[in-house]
Amino acid sequence: MLIDTHAHIFYKDYRDSLDDVLKRAADAGVGAIICPGLDLETSEQSLKLADRYDQVWAAVGVHPHDAESAPDNTLQELERLAAHDKVVAIGETGLDFYRNISPPEMQERLFREQLELAASLGYPAIVHNRSADEGVLRILREVGYGNGVVHCFSSPPETARQVLDLGFHISFTGTVTFGKNHNEAVLRAVGLERVMVETDCPYLAPAPKRGRTNEPAYVSHVAAKIADILKMDVTEVARQTTENALALFSRMRLPNGSESP
């Protein structure tokens, strides 16, 4: 069984096809899906989907792109939403210094505040990091909360080591199938130590499906590529990454009837 630990299935791409998308995921062996919000509105949408589908779980948070437009009551609202049974994490939050859609100091403030919220609740944090290794590591150290994942991992092995040493997990998307990035070197360096898989759909469809709308079923291609890189059986990659995900997202319960990892 696989867990897609990061899938934005609230997007309108799936509005008319979500039952089919989730059926294809189940057919591909995906037993659970975590849907992180990007702002208050999509956090609520994630929660509604989690309410509607047993195998879907929500995370609530504000993406760094949305830091500037976040209302003053953001933290209180996130805390209110997080009380729901099916919320398993705070996120996604983090820093994006590649596009700088929100000013860096606003991103940093909201990232720190969401980490502190996660710490106060004892929830894991889902962290977005783009071109911001130094800032992400600095704030993770300052807050001192070693519980979460740096998702869509794109940094070099030295950063992976530091992130893991802080207690964090890392997760890989379809970028692992693209080549021309650090993913293979990181996997060779750390093996499956606190490694998870995700699609980050609708973005980043893995190589065999490139150009199409990504969806949770395609997380199987991420696992297959990792198995290929590590010269392991894909069932072992599925077992270990699922175990890692269940250890991190400890509020998640497998839906009735699904096999254990």
Residues that bind Ni ion (CB under 5 A): 200
CB-nearer residue toward Ni ion: 97 or 261: 97
In the complex, least distance from residue 222 CB atom to Ni ion, rounded to whole angstroms: 14
- Residue 236 has a CB neighbour count (10 Å cut-off) of 13
- Residue 76 has a CB neighbour count (10 Å cut-off) of 11
Q: CA–CA distance from 41 to each of 48, 66, 81, 93 (Å)?
A: 11, 11, 11, 15
State how far the Cα of 225 lies from the Cα of 172, in Å rounded to an integer.
10
CB environment 141-164: b (16+ within 10 A), e (fewer): eebebbbbbbbbbbbeeebbebbb
State how far the Cα of 82 lies from the Cα of 61, in Å rounded to an integer.
9
Cβ proximity of 30 and 219 under 8 Å: yes
In the complex, least distance from residue 232 CB atom to Ni ion, rounded to whole angstroms: 26
The two tokens of residue 33 are: 């899906």
CB-nearer residue toward Ni ion: 199 or 257: 199
In the complex, least distance from residue 47 CB atom to Ni ion, rounded to whole angstroms: 16
CB-nearer residue toward Ni ion: 10 or 145: 10
In the complex, least distance from residue 259 CB atom to Ni ion, rounded to whole angstroms: 27
In the complex, least distance from residue 260 CB atom to Ni ion, rounded to whole angstroms: 28
CB-nearer residue toward Ni ion: 39 or 200: 200
In the complex, least distance from residue 188 CB atom to Ni ion, rounded to whole angstroms: 25
* Residue whose C-beta lies closest to Ni ion: 200
Which residue's structure tokens are 């100091």?
A: 105
Cβ proximity of 160 and 130 under 8 Å: no
CB-nearer residue toward Ni ion: 96 or 200: 200
In the complex, least distance from residue 49 CB atom to Ni ion, rounded to whole angstroms: 15
52: left (phi over 0), alpha (psi -120 to 50) or beta: alpha
CB-nearer residue toward Ni ion: 7 or 160: 7
State how far the Cα of 201 lies from the Cα of 27, in Å rounded to an integer.
17
CB-nearer residue toward Ni ion: 12 or 231: 12
